[in-house]
Amino acid sequence: MKSRLMLVVMILSAASTEAQLASSPVKPAEVPAKASYATVPFVGCESDGQVGPLKAPMGQSKRVEISEGAALRLAYYKAKYGFGVLAPRGWHCFSIYGSSGESLFVSPDSIDTKSLFSSEWEGFSAQVIQVSVSYGGTSGRFQVAKTIARVFPAYTSFVQNVIAEGIETASDFPTGPYPGDKLKYRGTRVVEFETPPNTKGLGTDSRLRSTPSPIGGVEILFGEEPNLLQLAMRIPDSNSEIYRIIVEQVESDVAQVKNDLSSAR
């Protein structure tokens, strides 16, 4: 009798549990969102520099991790040397290069290429995107050292080595961030920035001059020297939604180069 009673209790308990499970909301398993990839057209950019003018390179469309809607508005601009950059379709581009590094400029306005080589030119005042590389093993080391002194404290030994050469003094390498800059670190070698309107900062350590519009971008150290990549841009409000896409694509391209360097060792 006692065993029968226990059996009934077990059956009733199981039935109750089953009923609770049936009435409880079942949450579907969370599935990670799949990356969205799209293709953007390649735009070759002419260059001029140390060994003279260079024709725009031919290239293939670039597959990037962005939505189809964003891809319809963008193209991938690149010169023969240096990194490429995403920018709105239909813009103009030109690159300068030398032993210290290279810079690519992309703008909705025609680019006066002669001004880029003029010491009297004050820089871009309108919309523009600039992506530059300074090589730490060449005369580009001075720009690398100046940026390290500002925002990469883990690499101050590089700055001290450059100062020890005696070509430039310690006062040429101010330490600490610009007061007005907003910084967001993505690691010891990557910092995103925004230089406010009418303010001197990382954004104006480029060919962009201070105006009533802010300058945003990212500074990235890569390689053993190290080398420095700078992205600085001033884009119209109507294109502000693509700002993040442009920054992330540059960060991705540099990360790939770093991986290539590692695998080549």
pLDDT value at 22 more than 60: no
Looking at residues 191-203, what average pLDDT do you find?
A: 97
The per-residue DSSP string of 103-133 comes to: EEEEESSPP-TTGGG-TT---B-SSEEEEEE
User: What integer pLDDT is reported at residue 11 of this predicted model?
Assistant: 36
Q: In Å, what is the CA distance from 201 to each residue of 170, 197, 226, 247?
A: 19, 10, 22, 18
What is the structure's pLDDT at 265? 39
- Give me the pLDDT at residue 240, please: 73
Nearest CA to 84 out of 114, 105, 113 is that of 105
Which one, of 221, 210, 231, lies nearest residue 150 by Cα?
221
186: left (phi over 0), alpha (psi -120 to 50) or beta: alpha
Confidence of residue 23 (pLDDT cuts 50, 70, 90): very low
The model's confidence at residue 258, banded by pLDDT at 50, 70 and 90, is low
Per-residue pLDDT, 119:
87
Question: Is a pLDDT exceeding 80 seen at residue 238?
Answer: no
pLDDT for 45 equals 98
Q: Does 86 have pLDDT greater than 60?
A: yes
Q: What is the predicted pLDDT for the residue at 29?
A: 42
In this predicted structure, what is the pLDDT of residue 259? Answer: 59
The pLDDT of residue 36 is 83
Q: Could you tell me what percent of the chain has a pLDDT over 70?
A: 83
Q: What is the pLDDT of residues 98-129, one digit of tens each?
A: 999 999 999 999 999 999 999 889 999 999 99
Q: Give strand pairing partners of 252.
A: none
pTM, two decimals, is: 0.84
Q: Which residue from 145, 107, 98 is spatially nearest to 125, judged by alpha carbons?
A: 107
Which range (16-30, 41-55, 132-146, 208-222) has the least confidence? Answer: 16-30
Average pLDDT score, the chain:
87
Would the pLDDT of 19 be above 70? no
Banded pLDDT at 143 (limits 50, 70, 90):
very high
